[in-house]
């Protein structure tokens, strides 16, 4: 028997059963269907595993091998209740631990807490290795990697931003973390390793830069791979580049912010219209209208390689400035 998370397929309550990942994926997809109800049973096509959805706070699957002793409905019902309570307890503790770590990091970045307090309390949380690393994960569901990391026993200090989850880990856990469900299919930026949490803010910026490079390079990028990038590395240079290229798109008006968001999404999605429109929740016609406005305001053509390169550097500089504001 074992219990896995429906959203990610990661073990929540590990047990003696270790089914094939393909079987877990099949059952996970079945449990994710709109017509799947808590308590319903899903047999695997291989006939090796049965799965019951659990009425837990976070959807989970109870997996039982076909060779297990026959379970009648009465026994299954009681087993579901007991396991559901265990799952809720695990998830509650995981999210509470993550919330505590995130509060610490946010307080330090906002200047509300001396770094010494973070150092002391991180030891209480168990993050007291001799070497650390920061990963930045592209995700719209930050609770998924948080649950996966915690249930896998990987200690971390998280910090959430729109579309991104940043986590400080013990460097020794990096490879195992990147192989976990959800993280093994996400875009991830990785900082250089560091020995003191006093370097956390800088490492977070590094991970953010590396994450930005995943769009044009590969799924996982280490900061060392982009250290020589043409993207500005300090706030003054970033302000000069962004202002020089984007001009009035940086004005604090709703229209300018909407157009800048559109341009950033367009470049982030490799200039794919359908993906960009879906990401923004707008029609392709609206996207086209906004992009034409961007060209008019910036004086840059989205058909010119040189102009696209300049716009990419400029929007990356804007992201750098946002990172700097959130990690100081």
Q: Does residue 222 sit in the same domain as residue 98?
A: yes
pLDDT at residue 256 in the model: 93
Is the same domain home to 65 and 161?
no
Same domain, 29 and 47: yes
Determine the Cα–Cα distance for residues 240 and 296; give it in Å rounded to an integer. Answer: 20
Residue range(s) defining the domain that contains residue 285: 235-326
Tell me which of 206, 226, 246 is where a domain ends. 226
User: Domain containing 250 — which CATH number?
Assistant: 1.10.10.2840
In a domain, 80, yes or no: no
Residues 252 and 131 in one domain: no
What 3-state class would DSSP assign to 282? coil
Tell me if 297 is assigned to some domain. Answer: yes
Enumerate long-range contacts of 49-54, CB under 8 Å, 24 or more apart.
49/17, 49/19, 49/23, 51/27, 52/76, 52/80, 53/6, 54/3, 54/80, 54/83, 54/84, 54/87
Residue 69 has φ and ψ, to the nearest 5°, of -55, 145
Query: DSSP string of 208-222?
Result: HHHHHHTTTS-SEEE
Query: If residue 100 lies in a helix (H) or strand (E), which one and from where to where?
Result: helix 73-109
What local confidence, expressed as pLDDT, does residue 328 receive? 41
Predicted local distance difference test score (pLDDT) of residue 137? 92
Position 246 scores a pLDDT of 92
Per-residue pLDDT of 27-86, as tens digits, reads: 777 766 666 555 556 565 666 677 777 878 777 888 877 666 656 677 777 778 888 888
Q: Which residue has the tokens 């896995």?
A: 4
CA 291 to chain centre: 28
In tens, the pLDDT along 175-196 reads 999 988 888 888 899 999 999 8
Place of tokens 């559109």: 262
Same domain for 129 and 247, yes or no, is: no
Query: Domain for residue 26, yes or no?
Result: yes
Kindly state whether residues 24 and 59 are assigned to the same domain.
yes
Domain boundary among 24, 40, 71: 71
Q: Which residues pair with 138 in a beta bridge?
A: 164
The reported pLDDT for the residue numbered 117 is 81
- Does pTM surpass 0.75? no
Residue-level pLDDT, tens digit, the chain, 328 residues: 788 877 777 777 766 566 667 777 777 777 666 665 555 565 656 666 777 778 787 778 888 776 666 566 777 777 788 888 888 888 888 788 888 888 888 888 777 878 788 778 877 776 776 899 999 998 888 778 888 888 787 888 898 887 888 999 999 999 999 988 888 888 899 999 999 888 888 888 888 878 877 765 578 989 888 765 655 555 676 788 888 889 999 999 999 999 999 999 999 888 999 999 998 999 999 999 999 999 999 999 999 988 898 898 888 888 777 765 654 4
End-of-domain residue from the set 226, 252, 273: 226
Separation of first and last alpha carbons in the chain:
47
Say whether both 39 and 114 belong to one domain.
Answer: no
DSSP H stretches of helix in 247-304: 254-268, 273-280, 284-298
Is 161 domain-assigned? yes
Is 77 inside any structural domain? no
Q: Are residues 186 and 253 located together in one domain of the fold?
A: no
The CATH number covering residue 156 comes to: 3.30.70
- Tell me, yes or no, whether 301 lies in a domain: yes
pLDDT of residue 81: 84
Residue 89 domain flag: no
Task: Report angle CA 87, 91, 97 to the nearest 5 degrees.
Answer: 145
The candidate with the shortest Cα–Cα distance to 156, out of 141, 142, 164, 146, is 146
Same domain, 168 and 254: no
- Same domain? 222 vs 184: yes
Same domain, 109 and 211: yes
Q: Are residues 259 and 208 both part of a single domain?
A: no
What total of structural domains would you count in the chain?
3
């Amino acid at each position: 028997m074992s219990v896995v998370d429906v959203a990610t397929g990661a073990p929540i309550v590990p047990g003696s059963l270790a089914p094939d990942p393909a079987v877990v994926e099949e059952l996970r997809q079945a449990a994710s269907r709109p017509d799947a109800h808590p308590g319903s049973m899903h047999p695997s096509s291989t006939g090796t595993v049965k799965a019951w959805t659990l009425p837990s706070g976070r959807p989970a699957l109870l997996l039982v091998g076909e060779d297990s002793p026959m379970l009648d409905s009465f026994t299954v019902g009681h087993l579901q209740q007991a396991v559901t309570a265990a799952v809720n307890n695990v998830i509650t503790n995981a999210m509470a631990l993550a919330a505590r770590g995130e509060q610490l990091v946010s307080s330090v970045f906002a200047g509300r807490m001396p770094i010494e307090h973070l150092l002391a309390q991180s030891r209480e949380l168990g993050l007291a290795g001799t070497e650390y690393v920061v990963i930045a994960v592209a995700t719209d569901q930050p609770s998924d990697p948080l649950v996966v990391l915690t249930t896998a026993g990987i200690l971390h200090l998280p910090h959430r931003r729109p579309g991104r989850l940043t986590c400080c880990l013990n460097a020794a856990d990096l490879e195992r973390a990147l192989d976990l469900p959800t993280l093994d299919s996400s875009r991830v930026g990785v900082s250089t390793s560091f020995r003191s949490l006093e370097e956390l803010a800088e490492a977070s910026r590094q991970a953010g830069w590396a994450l930005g490079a995943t769009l044009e390079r590969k799924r996982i990028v280490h900061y060392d791979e982009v250290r020589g990038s043409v993207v500005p590395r300090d706030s003054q240079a970033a302000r000069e580049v962004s202002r020089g290229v984007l001009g009035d798109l940086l004005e604090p008006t709703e229209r300018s912010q909407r157009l800048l968001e559109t341009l950033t999404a367009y470049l982030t999605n490799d200039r794919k219209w359908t993906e960009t429109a879906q990401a923004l929740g707008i029609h392709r016609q609206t996207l086209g209208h906004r992009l034409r406005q961007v060209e008019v305001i910036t004086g840059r053509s989205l058909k010119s390689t040189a102009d696209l390169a300049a716009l990419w550097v400029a929007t990356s500089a804007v992201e750098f400035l946002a990172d700097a504001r959130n990690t100081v």
